[in-house]
Amino acid sequence: MTQRTEISTLGEFGLIRHLTDKIVLKNESSLKGVGDDAAVLDYADKQILVTTDLLLEGIHFDLTYTPLKHIGYKAAVVNFSDIYAMNGIPRQLTVSIGISKRFCIEDIDEIYNGLGIACDNYGVDIIGGDTSASLTGLTLSITCIGEVEKDKITYRNGARATDLICVSGDLGAAYMGLQLLEREKTVFAGKKDFSPDFGGREYLLERQLRPEARRDIVDMLAGAGILPTSMIDISDGLSSELLHICRESQVGCRIYEDRIPIDYQTASMAEQFNMNLVTAALNGGEDYELLFTVPLSAHEKVATLEGIHLIGHITSDSQGCYLIGRDGGEVQLIAQGWQQ
């Protein structure tokens, strides 16, 4: 039987010491981490990036099928993704957690194990946070701090007409992974000795439960001498994120259905669920790929980079934002990402 240690045996400050006493700082900019009234950072002449995500049980994750370690890992990585979307490097992380009486010390250890693995993988320091009792289940609030050279920072508002629209990786897999998990949860309800059917769908589950931030794409672009004119990470779906760029840059766009990258498992799962594959890729979200624009002059360079796909181009604002179908027909892009 797995040991369960009540949180009350440690108290709030004992829990904080338990969770943080093994943290070792890795970055020179982290002068002081956990243990004082505030962390101390030194960035000299770099621009500082700060991003925050709030994760609520029942809204952002379901503990029926999401391991606590995966929640910790994903909570960290989605923040790293925001920093990479600014062409920056994540350096520090703060973790605030609300815990109900359903959870024990070992449960919180699992969350911090996931956070720690993510931070080790991406070279990020945990430098502080907070803990609190919760009446509504598990809550995680993560803040990530990063750095970027002043002349390399990339915003959403830099896209210009004739720029090429690029996306990394493939789209829709995380959404189909969620549909698969929800299906098995429904089948599981009320059954004893139930074994979920995930055979051959491991990629979809990994994309949903354990996503990765695309540090490699940022490094690849830098190595090729390409500075994106605009960039955003895909958390709410390709359509929503592209419309963010177009609105902030005051431009239009054309993307092409046959150029949207989709994995075979995603296509197969969509067919099984009788779902429109392009809709899943456009609006599914949680892919955490990078969507960016580059000048037309960078075409030859970007076209040769592995894992990057040219899916369209930027137009003038007056031409609107459209998806060009395989039959040549135009469909206006609509933001259909996360809604309450």
* The amino acid at 92: Q
Give the integer Cα–Cα distance in Å for 41 and 88.
16
Q: Looking at residue 162, what is its pLDDT? A: 97
Q: How far apart are CA 321 and CA 40, in angstroms?
A: 44
Scanning the chain, the segments in alpha helix (DSSP H) are 11-20, 68-84, 105-122, 173-188, 202-209, 215-223, 238-249, 264-272, 277-283, 299-303
pLDDT at 31: 75
Judge whether 314 and 236 are in contact, CB under 8 Å. Answer: no
- Give this prediction's pTM: 0.89
Q: Which two tokens stand for residue 243?
A: 């419309």
pLDDT at 338: 46
- The residue type found at 71 is I
Domains and CATH numbers, the chain: 7-148 (3.30.1330.10), 164-332 (3.90.650.10)
Task: Return the axis-axis angle of helices 215-223 and 68-84, rounded to nearest 10°.
Answer: 30
Smallest CA-to-CA distance from 232 within 208, 249, 207 is with: 249
Which strands, in side-by-side order, build the sheet including 308-316? 230-233, 290-294, 164-168, 308-316, 251-256, 321-324, 330-332
> In whole angstroms, what is the distance from residue 23 CA to residue 241 CA?
35
Here the tokens at position 160 are 């210009």
- From first to last of its 340 residues, the chain has per-residue pLDDT tens of 577 777 677 665 566 677 667 767 887 877 766 655 555 677 778 889 999 898 999 889 999 899 999 999 999 999 999 999 999 999 999 999 999 989 999 999 999 999 999 999 999 999 988 888 888 889 999 999 999 998 999 999 999 999 999 999 999 999 999 999 998 887 766 565 556 667 789 999 999 999 999 999 999 999 999 999 999 999 999 999 999 999 999 999 999 999 999 999 999 999 999 999 999 999 999 999 999 999 999 999 999 999 999 999 999 999 999 999 999 999 999 976 544 3
Helix axes 202-209, 264-272, angle to 10 degrees: 100
